[in-house]
Homo-oligomer: A and B are copies of this chain.
Amino acid sequence: MYSHAFLSLRTPSPATSLPELKSDKLQTLGKWRSNFTVTVTSACTQRVVLVLHELGVEYDFIAVALMKGEHKDTSYTQDVHPFGRIPTLKDGNFQLFESRAICRYLVSKFGGTSTLNSDKQADAVQIGTLEQAISIEYSYFDPQIKALCYENVFKGYLGKGAASPDEVEKATDILTTCLDYYEALLSKQDYLTGNEFGLVDIFVMPWLPWFHVLKMDDLISGRPKFESWWKRMTARRSWQLVQESLPKTG
């Protein structure tokens, strides 16, 4: 299982042409309808790649062999990521890890007039509201969908036994509350942070196909506003470029 650990920027300024992603040996886990494929490429890496595409910044992938444990090698933990995770970003001599931090760095450096670049000149209420939305994604959405993937998919692959009913119930409860919150929010505004496409929309996007893998499509189809938002997200060119460029082996 390969994934993308380094994202090395090709140019110090936004480029107009979009790069081909390098194809490597990613395993396909499932298909969602007819038009996109779920792979094990890390959601955190996809998050950063979506921002790169949205901003039109060229980059190269440097793959790290997770299954061989390269991300736990001393050379990796000493020089690249002290916690042995992916992705990391290299921009000239500057290195950064943590996907959301990388996204905010990219937006600050290359965001220009993009709607992603919303916190420049913001007042306290706007900052508080943006940070609240980011924290909701981080606290209630991401950990729960990740836990459900681990319990229901990865545990089996890793030979770690059956899903824990308690963990599945706990994660499902909080995720459902979060989707209810998003549904109510999206009845008042077009995107998760307001009426403009923003970073939190991108933070959530990589997890969308997993609802199908987890056989939880009804959590989406039962919420018309969220489903409409989802369709708008998957119609974005950045989403399509990421999906098309992911290797399809299944």
Write out the residue numbers on chain B whose beta carbons fall within 8 Å of the beta carbon of A105.
124-125, 127-128, 131
Q: Is B181 within 8 A of A101, CB to CB?
A: no
Write out the residue numbers on chain B whose beta carbons fall within 8 Å of the beta carbon of A100.
131, 135
Separation of A93 and B140 alpha carbons in the complex (Å): 25
Separation of A97 and B132 alpha carbons in the complex (Å): 7
Report, as a range, how many residues of chain A touch the other chain. 35 or more
Q: Is B140 within 8 A of A96, CB to CB?
A: no
Instruction: Say how far A143's CB is from chain B's closest CB, in angstroms.
Output: 8
Instruction: Say how far A212's CB is from chain B's closest CB, in angstroms.
Output: 25
Write out the residue numbers on chain B whose beta carbons fall within 8 Å of the beta carbon of A177.
82-83
Pick the contact of A174: B83, B94, B132, B184 (CB < 8 A): B83
Interfacial residues of chain A within 177-193, with CB under 8 A of chain B in the complex: 177-178, 180-181, 184
Interfacial residues of chain A within 48-96, with CB under 8 A of chain B in the complex: 82-83, 94, 96
Q: Is A96 within 8 A of B132, CB to CB?
A: yes
A218 interfacial contact with B, CB 8 Å:
no
Q: Is B101 within 8 A of A140, CB to CB?
A: no
Instruction: Say how far A207's CB is from chain B's closest CB, in angstroms.
Output: 16
Q: Could you mark each residue 92-124 of chain A with 1 if its beta carbon is under 8 Å from any beta carbon of chain B, else 0?
A: 001011101110111011000000000000111
Q: Could you mark each residue 167-180 of chain A with 1 if its beta carbon is under 8 Å from any beta carbon of chain B, else 0?
A: 00000001001101
